[in-house]
Amino acid sequence: MHSKWKNAIVVGATGGIGKEIASQLLSSGTNVALVGRDGTKLDSLADELRREDARAISVPCDVRQLETVEPAFQEAIEKLGGLDLIVYAAGVMPRVEPNEYNTEKDAEIIAVNLTGAIAWLNLAAKRFERAREGTIVGIGSVAGDRGRKGNPVYAASKAGLETYLESLRNRLAPNGVSVVTVKPGPVETPMTADRGKLPGMISADRAARLILRAAGKPNKTAYIPGKWWLVSKILRAIPSPLFRRLNI
């Protein structure tokens, strides 16, 4: 299948979902700038994923270092020769104990999952708004739909990301720019490796396929896979007093 995008940036390309997205984009002929914090890992990934008809470029950047984001964004565009799609797939979900309140750990989650996303996607939004075209994809989570006991700041970071993406969508849609929020359920990635087999878990390969399919449809919010839409509707409908008694 030939991709509708010529040039893409995948932030968080060394992670489970990000790597699969980058790989599938390259397979369909899209040039991809692979962004991640480990330059050596990125270089070997670029070698691994490179195709005859599509270039894989490594652009090292630690999303927590905000001053490095703009130069990295410009470097990616200049090396690619343009930009049609950006996928922010960087994310962390550290294990949090039930009685743990570790602000340092929480700040790290916010820095990677939310502030980093804002730093990268603001730059893409500005460019796409001027170009009057482009697709922004942010990876939210079903975990952001309700305030769960398990990992408060992870849930908050994903809820914040979803609201930010909705605002971008409302700003940019009149300019022909598409902003897509994808909300996967559990996905088999290194991030979830220590959680065991969770209910409804899908492979990163399948998640990436569904995410790219959703990204091709303008301005939507998509649950990955679609059944999580119904689960989310039900969870959202549960009254708070009842929800807090649930062990989720």
| Residues forming the site for another protein (CB under 8 A) | 74, 77-78, 81-82, 126-127, 130-133
Q: Which is nearer to another protein, 175 or 192 (CB)?
A: 175
Least CB distance to another protein at residue 122 (A):
13
**Is 158 a known active-site residue?**
yes
Nearest distance from residue 123's CB to another protein, in Å? 9
Task: Specify whether the CB–CB gap between 12 and 91 falls below 8 A.
Answer: yes
Q: Which is nearer to another protein, 65 or 74 (CB)?
A: 74
Cα distance between residue 92 and residue 16, in whole Å: 11
How many CB atoms are closer than 10 A to CB 23?
21
- In whole angstroms, how close is the CB of 212 to another protein at the nearest point? 19
Of 19, 88, 154, 164, the catalytic one is: 154
Catalytic residue among 19, 88, 158, 223: 158
Q: Which CB atom, from 89 or from 179, has the smaller least distance to another protein?
A: 179
Q: Is 154 tagged catalytic? A: yes
Separation of alpha carbons 211 and 206, rounded Å: 9
| DSSP string across 178-228 | EEEEEEE--EESGGGGGG-S-TT-EEHHHHHHHHHHHHTSTT-EEEESTHH
Handedness of CA 139, 12, 113, 142 (dihedral sign): positive
> 122 vs 192, which CB is nearer to another protein?
122
Handedness of CA 61, 188, 28, 84 (dihedral sign): negative
- Closest contact distance (angstroms) between CB of 70 and another protein is 9
What residues are annotated to the active site? 154, 158
